[in-house]
Structure 1
């Protein structure tokens, strides 16, 4: 986790450095993107804009991890753990090898489909009841859905933090501009510098938060779709295919 975050922060620092080298100080682009101007109240590179970029990079690093996790979950659906022939049936004695195959493929962080199959097969073997297996599958899906949602708590906080940082820059810039307004001896350049800080930080923060919100929703949707697909896969290819002979000696209590 920290490796991805530090890599994202390193890339952000590199992008800030490249933008610094490619822009002219006091130019409109440098003032907007970096707050690199003569009358800025923040010493460069310790500006509100750069802080926003670092926060965005941190969040994007976490989203990259979640995107990779979502792709792995989708790959499990193509692994062929269960027969998908519409005419195929499964008997209880066939479930043991399947469970042993998937038991090592999941943990607390990943493996929706292997975990659901493991729990459902275990319940089928223990109770020989399809109804109880369906209840276990339903409860497991609900718990995993809550777990997925919890993984995005920090990202939701970052989506709130970024515009908040921008609004802090707005308040600071406006306060400075108002403080410098003196009809008897007004330094117009410093007043304009304070106003530019107030508006530019808000603009950069809103754009960054909009990008973060879009990517977050797209990645979370991918992960939630993978969980739903895993549940449908278990229901269609495991629950609906298993045959339990209640007249056999093994099925009797």
Structure 2
């Protein structure tokens, strides 16, 4: 039970969290299918669940464009959850007080091994911005006895951390792009279906079926754009928190380690 708690909350692992997100997405679709009977306007808008599909319509419920975008949305929310928990972990490390805060403290070479031992197991290359910075800066200072070189290493490390944070959002940026793309594909299919119902040689046109096909096509785009907007909002909020954690870690290291180093 403890292992499951750590894998899903304390230190989320992406694979089980993303799998659980898809399961939750499927449950939400099932609940909406029960709550919104086929043929209702809300069912047609949110799920493309209609009493009878237009002639030639390729999607059979529940395999619809809207349901696909719902699953992609939940996949993105699962990834955002992982990023949010990682950002919360980084902010919690800063609040732990890994370095002395008293203004009169000066750190000399013999003080550093104890600090390094305290943070050595708190970072692993993926998590632990602050412990990683402290460890690297102490190593550099012990090797060079130069505060200037230590500051240079700190600046380079902060740039690399910033790039690492950006790379972590590659999947989310793709999902934000693919949701409206899937919606537009549904729109194109719906318009093509509506056009196929038009027979120039026929005296009367099936206007009702044409209108239904166009309605389906516009619904897919509407739902996809709304869900993409939701995902973009959460993406920017969480990414800002993770970037703030990098800035806070750099400032904390500069104030409480670099500025206290004494090379004499």
Question: What range is the shorter-chain TM-score in?
Answer: over 0.9
**Corresponding position: 1:186 with 2:205:** yes
Q: What's the CA shift string for 1:49-76, capped at 9, x where partnerless?
A: 0000011111111110000000000000
Q: CA deviation at 1:189?
A: 3.0
DSSP 3-state at the match of 1:39: coil
Match of 2:231 among 198, 201, 212: 212
Aligned residues: 245
Matched residue, 2:53: 39
Q: What's the CA shift string for 1:196-228, capped at 9, x where partnerless?
A: 111100000000000011100111000000000
Moved over 3 A (4+): none
What CA RMSD, in Å, does the superposition of the two structures yield over aligned residues?
A: 1.0
TM-score, normalization by structure 2: 0.91
Matched residue, 2:23: 10
**Corresponding position: 1:222 with 2:241:** yes
**Corresponding position: 1:143 with 2:160:** yes
Pairs within 5 Å for 1:21-100: 21-37=34-50, 38-40=52-54, 41=57, 42-100=59-117
Q: Given that residues 39 and 189 in structure 1 are in contact (C-alpha distance below 8 angstroms), is that contact kept between their aligned partners in structure 2?
A: no
DSSP 3-state at the match of 2:205: coil
DSSP 3-state at the match of 1:244: coil
Q: Equivalents in 1 of 2:41, 2:87: separation in Å?
A: 40
**Corresponding position: 1:118 with 2:124:** no
Q: Equivalents in 2 of 1:194, 1:103: separation in Å?
A: 62
Q: CA deviation at 1:132?
A: 0.3
More displaced, 15-24 or 180-189?
180-189
TM-score, normalization by structure 1: 0.95
Q: Equivalents in 2 of 1:139, 1:51: separation in Å?
A: 42
Matched residue, 1:242: 261
Q: Given that residues 106 and 114 in structure 1 are in contact (C-alpha distance below 8 angstroms), is that contact kept between their aligned partners in structure 2?
A: yes
Q: Equivalents in 1 of 2:207, 2:48: separation in Å?
A: 18
Unaligned runs of 5+ in 2: 1-13
